Every structure is written in structure tokens, then in C-alpha cells.
Chains A and B, each alone.
Chain A
Amino acid sequence: MSAASTKGYREVTFGAVALGVIQGAVMTAAFVYIGLKLGFGLPGSTVAAIMGFALLRGVGRKAFGIEGAGSIVENNINQTIASGINTASAGVVFTFPALYLLGLGDEINFPIVILSAVAGSFMGIVVIIPLRKQMIEIERLKFPSGIAVATILKSPGAGMKKSVLLAAGFAVSLAITLATKFEIVPETLEIGEGLRSLTGGSDTGAAGVLFAGTALSLSMANFGAGLLSGKGGLAFAVGGILAWWVIAPFVAAQGWVPEGAAGADLKWAIYGANLRPVGIGVLIGGALMGVVLSYPALKGAISSLRAAAKLAKSGDASNDELPPSVLGFGLVGAFVALFAVAIIGSNGAIAMAVSVAVAGTVWLGLAGLIVAQATGATDISPLSGLALIAVTLMLALTANNIMLAVTIGVAVCVATNQCADMMSDLKTGHLVGSVPKRQQLVQFMVAWVGPAIAVGTVWLLWQAGPDGANGFGPESLACRNETADCLPAPQAGALQGMVQGVVSGEAPLDKYLAGSAIGIGLALFPIAGLGVLIGLAMYLPFEITLGYGIGCVASMVLEKVKGRRYYADVLVPVAAGFIVGEALTSLSLTLIKLATGS
């Protein structure tokens, strides 16, 4: 037994901040590249937490002899900073490159784009201030990744059994992820298509989409998220059934599909034209009504923040929370920054700039709420859909000023991702005993780093083209020649397509409106967050919701049969292992692939 520690409990230390910044900066640049190459982002918290163990705890204690180095709460600060910086990568990669693809590269005002992204980064942290109390303390949303990271951080004290279960979950997930990536087993089990082959069923019409749409993703992270969510996530799975077994067959049966569409083509046609846009509308309506209904709780959350600040002032308690005044300053600051972006982007049109700043700030808040609720329940963030709505709205307000609309879209996307990440980190902090104010303050300190690096990396990669331009995109030389250094920028390409569609009047506004009305109705039903969960399920292919739903049901059955203790003792470490295993394996394989050019 070591002697009693006489030093303070290490939390916000130079080591934690420095390691977090270095990891965050490296991950941001790397994940921008990965995003342009593969079209998806990767979470940084898991990587950062494990590196924190190795460096802060391992090297700090053993090599440098720093007593108490790498404490649980210190490592939490490290991963908070690292992931907070890295969130800019996805937000920027989904939006900013679209300006290049739309041929507007020479007109980009870089300081304004970076200002927009930084404003979004700060706004994402600010919006969380009341939402943290609402979602983590009152609604008790799970935030599966937050639980997974907390499980890693707590593993030194969790006991051998939980560590073994965490490792076992990791091993299973590693094996399955490797098997899918090397195509030993498919990534998605086409259950419906298998049944269709056995029964000789049709590949067109209602039967066709039922068969084609019914598939199961073998993502262990997805299954693990369902295990952690249990009963609370079941509505998401039910939403998937509604989308793919009720709506899609009806759409096909009515003939509201392209002529001759069959099998997978039929599935993706219905997904793109019918389900996804309605799902986005449901998300918006569900979130809007959710804000109205939870107003008393939000009011209570803000009163609670004021009360905590008052108690701290009178010396009766220390204040763990940022005061509500920070929220006020942050909202004003975001409005001013967005106004500055808009006034420059609109060449001094004050009325337009005011409307853009107001709408942008309001949408930032609403999108933050949607994504916090979605990730809280399911670990899935509808980031691209929300960015799409932001740009659509801005195009409408700016009379199709694409440059300005996408620049504001950068702010929204960065803010939304920051919200999701910060909430997950605060959930982790809640579980390990971190002080939320410290996590939020360190995040404020570094909020500008990620946007600057992400925008700079995109610019560098564009300049890396043969003529100092066209370094990425489907029309780049590397992509036309199909060489290994092709960076197709798929997400930005999708935004490019959407912008061109909106400018030519093809935005599915009817879907958004009808979906919003449904979302409002869903939110009125006495199950919290139902609108957002059902909307999210419509927004995604069934293979994802089905895998998650199986996890939810498994969790419910096991807890019922084995008792409540089983959830904490077995399900949490195993599910955490699943999530961490897939994240690290995917990341490692991606980096190996990029390094070897294969």
C-alpha cells in the first residue's frame, strides 16, 4: 500500500492540457484527410483516453516519477481537450470543401471562414451549458460513447472481472471488425435478399423493398450502443420498423418510385427521395416541440445554475457549473460573429446580415439540441442532415448566396459536432467525478485550435493538386486516374449536389414540412425524445437501426433475467469493449491503408 498522497488531486495539469492539444491537433489534420478520402469522421475520445493512460499514467509515473500522474480525472481532461479540438474536423470536412467543388475556391475569404468555424466551436460549448443539466441530470440520457470512455478511464479500479469483460468485448469487436474489413464476412447481412432468394420473391414493389430494405449491420459498436441504451433506445428501433416495414412498402406499392426500380436500387431510391427528407423534417419538428415541452425543465436547469452560483458566492458550496451569464454572453458573441460573417459575405446588406445572424444563432441552438438528444439516446449524430438544413435555410435567406450560406453552414456543422462531443465528454465526467466547469473551461480555451487546423488542412490538400489546385474531389487528377491518392470528398460532394438542387428549386420542402408536423405530434406523446428518435431512424438505413434495436432488446431481456446489477457489472464493460474495439480497429486499418497507399 503506498503512503497517503499529500499532493492535490491532479486534474487540470500542464501534462493533460499539452497532451490533449497535441493529440487533438494531430487527429484533426489526420481526420480531415480521412474525411476527404472516405467520407466519415472518427471519434477522438477513445483514442485520446487510451493514449492518456499510456503517456500520462504509464510514462508520467514510471519514467518521470510524477506522483499521482495520469489520474482518472486528469486523463478525462486530456480526452476532453483532444476530442474537443478534433470535432472541428468533421464539421469542416462536411461543408467547407464544397466551396472548392462548386468552383468558388478563388473567392474564399479564409479569415471569415475560420471566424465562422470558431464561432460555431464556441457556440457548441455554450449551448451545452443548460442542455447538460437537462439531458445528463434530468433526462439521464445514456450517451453510450461517454459511458464507454468512462469505463476505460475507471478500469484501473474496476476490478479484474470488469477489466477482463472489457478486454473480451474489445477482442470480439476487433475480430468481427477485421473480418468485415477483409471481407471474410460481409459488413451488412442482407437478410431480406437472402429470404427473397430462398422464397423466389419479387424484387419490385412492396415485397421488393421489404426484402431489399431488411438488412443487419455487423457493427459491434452499433450493437454495443444498443446494449447500453436498453429500453430507452427502443423507440429508435421501432422507428426503423416504421420506416422500412410500413412506409417504404406503401411507397413502393403506390408506385411513387422511379419506373423499373428493383432490389437495392429501389431501396436506395426510396431512402433518398422519400424516407430521409421526411426523417429530417421529423427531427426538426420533434426538436422544436421538445423545446416547448421541456421549457419548465430548461427554466429549472437555468434556475439551478443561478442557485449554484449564488451558493458559491455565499461560500456555502463550491460552484461546479458555469453560470448562466456565460450562456448569455456566448449567445450574444455567436450572434455578433455570425453577423460579422454575414455583413462581409453580403457586401454590407444589413437587413440580410441580421436575419442570417438571428436564424443562424437560433438554428445553431436547435441543431445542438437535436444532436445532443440523438447522440444521448443512440450515439448517432444526424450531422449531415442538420448541415443540409442549415445551408438550405441560409440559401433562402441570402437569395442563393452560396458562399455565405456554406460559410454559415460551416459554423452550424462545427457547433453541432462540438455539442455532441462535449455532451459525451460531460457524461464521462459525470461518471468519473470530474468538475463540469473545468471540462467546459478547458474546452473554451482550445476551441479555436481545431477550426484553424481543419480549414488550413483542407486548403493545403486543395493546393496539393498538380496545378496548385484540384487536390481533391471527383474531378481531381488523382480521382480521374483512380490512383491511391484520390480524395473524393464524398460528403462535400453531397452538399454540392444539394446546393445545386436548392438553387434550382428542387429542395424537398414538402417533405421537411410534413415531417415537421409528424415530429410535433410525436413529441407530444408521453415518451421523452420520441420525435428525435423516430426522425433519426427514418434518416438512417435499416441495417443500422436493426442492429441497435437487437442490442436494446438483448439488454432489456438480460437485465430482466439477471437483475439490475448485471447491467453495471457485465453489460457496461462488454458493450464498452465493443465500441472501443471497433473504433480503434477501424482507425488503425484506415491509417495503415493510407500509409501503404493500398
Chain B
Amino acid sequence: MRYAGFGLFVIGLTVASWYAAYVPEGIGAERIGNWFSAVGIQFLAGWVTMIVGVVVARAAAKKDTPADEAANANSADTAGEAIEQMRLIARRIDDIAGRDLAPADVAQAPRKLADELDHLLTEEIPVFLDARPLLIDRFGLETFAELIGHFAVMERAAARAWSAITDEAWDEVPPSLTKAQAAVHRSLDVLDAAAPSAAA
């Protein structure tokens, strides 16, 4: 069904684009009328085909069952796995922030901490982010927007901690990690409120 919808969409887009490009005689409103008289029907046929294709493709996408999702099981290929990835990220942040590092502690082994944060930002977070469409399908756009808003605060705070380590601004690191921890837990609160069955 999905491929049929996609096929109709492509055919319709092609036909509509062909006839959209026709250059009629005349100026102003007369020009629009001349365009429509010459190629309007062909354009509309293409455009309607395109819309039908979109409707079919969207309907087919909605019909994807959880079994289909599970059959594609791979890293964060299902909404459940994306949620689990988010909880993993939260546990990482808890682990780092939970060490209760003082600025002097950070100064003792800055590179190790920076590498942990870098790993989180460049490897673990992208896995979760790639699964955004699944979470939007599951929770709706509005709830997802709220969830990701807090998640983004966590990301920025973690990135700020990394930058502060690079700049040897040790004082900035602990409060940034605390902020990241608070933010990711607010994100989890939104998740848990939206889907109690997804709670750990």
C-alpha cells in the first residue's frame, strides 16, 4: 500500500510540475486565466493524483503494527527501545552528576570527564534522537515537544560542562552537571505522565 501511495505521489508530482512550468501569454489576471485554459486540467489531474498518493502513503504508514516495529528490531527501532535509551542516558547523567564533584575534583581528571560527556553527546544521545518519529507517533507532537524541551536543556548543560572543562573553568562544571541531571529527570517525568505503562 505504501509503495502504491508513493508511486501515485511521484507520478502526480511529475505531471503537476510539468504543467506548472507552462508559460502562458498575457499579463496579470489574464495570464492566470490563459494558463488555466491551456494546461489547467492536466495540472489538476497531476495534483489530485499527488494528493491521493499522499493520503494512501500516510494511511499505510499509520497502519504499521507493533509487530512490524518489532520485526525491525534494531537499536532504538521501536518506541519502547527509544524510551529505554532515554532512561539509559538519564542513568549516565545520574552517575556522572552523582559523583558530587567539587571543582578541585574536576581539575584532577578533566579529560576523563570530558571524554564521558563527549561519548554521551556524540554517541548515546543521537541514538535516542534518531527515534524521534517513533516517539511522536506514540505520544503526539505536543507531548513530545514538552519532553524534548527538557531533554534539550540537559544536552546544553552537558555541552556546557564539556566546554567549561576545555576552558579550565572548573567552577562551572558541577552546576552544569546538576542542571543536566534535573533537566533529564523533568523529561522523564513528562514521559511517565504520558505513558505510565512505559515507566521503569
Mark out the residues of chain B between 24 and 82 whose CB falls within 8 Å of any chain A CB in the assembled complex.
Answer: 24, 27-29, 31-32, 34-36, 43, 47, 50-51, 54, 57-58, 61
Main DSSP-derived SS at the B contact region: helix
Q: A291-319 interface mask toward B, CB cutoff 8 Å, 1 = contact, 0 = none?
A: 00010110111011001100000000110
Known: A247-B17, A300-B141; 12 extra A-B contacts, CB below 8 A, are: A2-B168, A9-B167, A68-B168, A242-B13, A270-B21, A296-B141, A304-B145, A318-B179, A507-B28, A510-B24, A510-B34, A513-B32
| A431 contacts chain B at the CB level, 8 A cutoff | yes
Which residues from chain A sit less than 8 Å from chain B, CB to CB?
1-10, 68, 71-73, 133, 136-138, 140, 154, 156-157, 242, 246-247, 250-251, 254, 256, 270, 273-275, 278, 281, 294, 296-297, 299-301, 303-304, 307-308, 317-318, 320, 429-436, 504-511, 513-515, 517-518, 521-522, 524-526, 564-565, 568-569
Are the C-beta atoms of B152 and A524 separated by less than 8 Å? Answer: no
Are the C-beta atoms of B149 and A137 separated by less than 8 Å? Answer: yes
Contact of A525 among B9, B28, B186 (CB under 8 A): B9
Most interface-central of B17, B61, B143, B179 (chain A CB within 10 A): B17
Are the C-beta atoms of B161 and A433 separated by less than 8 Å? Answer: yes
Are the C-beta atoms of A137 and B152 separated by less than 8 Å? Answer: yes
| A317: B residues at CB distance < 8 A | 153, 179, 182-183, 186
Task: Offer 24 A-B interface pairs, CB within 8 angstroms, sorted by A.
Answer: A2-B168, A7-B171, A8-B172, A68-B167, A137-B148, A138-B144, A138-B148, A140-B132, A157-B114, A247-B18, A247-B21, A274-B21, A278-B17, A278-B21, A296-B141, A296-B145, A297-B142, A307-B149, A317-B183, A433-B156, A505-B27, A517-B16, A521-B54, A525-B57
Given A247-B18, A518-B16, A518-B47 in contact, is the A526-B159 Cβ separation under 8 Å?
no
Contact of B145 among A136, A138, A526 (CB under 8 A): A138
Are the C-beta atoms of B16 and A521 separated by less than 8 Å? Answer: yes
| B146: A residues at CB distance < 8 A | 300, 303-304, 307
Min CB gap B4→A, angstroms: 14
Which residues from chain B sit less than 8 Å from chain A, CB to CB?
9, 12-14, 16-24, 27-29, 31-32, 34-36, 43, 47, 50-51, 54, 57-58, 61, 103-104, 106-107, 114, 122-123, 126-127, 129, 132, 140-146, 148-149, 151-153, 155-172, 176, 179, 182-183, 186
Given A5-B169, A430-B152 in contact, is the A297-B20 Cβ separation under 8 Å?
no
Most interface-central of A137, A254, A318, A433 (chain B CB within 10 A): A433
Q: Output the nearest chain A residue to B150 by Cβ-Cβ distance.
A: A304
Are the C-beta atoms of B58 and A526 separated by less than 8 Å? Answer: yes
Are the C-beta atoms of B167 and A505 separated by less than 8 Å? Answer: no
Are the C-beta atoms of A521 and B47 separated by less than 8 Å? Answer: yes
Are the C-beta atoms of A514 and B35 separated by less than 8 Å? Answer: yes
| B168: A residues at CB distance < 8 A | 2, 5, 68
Most interface-central of A300, A317, A435 (chain B CB within 10 A): A300
Bound CA span A242–B10, Å? 10
Q: Output the nearest chain B residue to A275 by Cβ-Cβ distance.
A: B21
Are the C-beta atoms of A9 and B9 separated by less than 8 Å? Answer: no
Are the C-beta atoms of A4 and B170 separated by less than 8 Å? Answer: yes
Are the C-beta atoms of B54 and A157 separated by less than 8 Å? Answer: no
Bound CA span A510–B28, Å? 9
Contact of A433 among B31, B107, B127, B159 (CB under 8 A): B159
Bound CA span A574–B17, Å? 37
Bound CA span A510–B29, Å? 9
Are the C-beta atoms of B145 and A297 separated by less than 8 Å? Answer: yes
Given A278-B21, A517-B47 in contact, is the A73-B160 Cβ separation under 8 Å?
yes
Are the C-beta atoms of A8 and B123 separated by less than 8 Å? Answer: no
| A246: B residues at CB distance < 8 A | 14, 17-18
| A256: B residues at CB distance < 8 A | 21-23
Contact of B171 among A5, A138, A434, A436 (CB under 8 A): A5
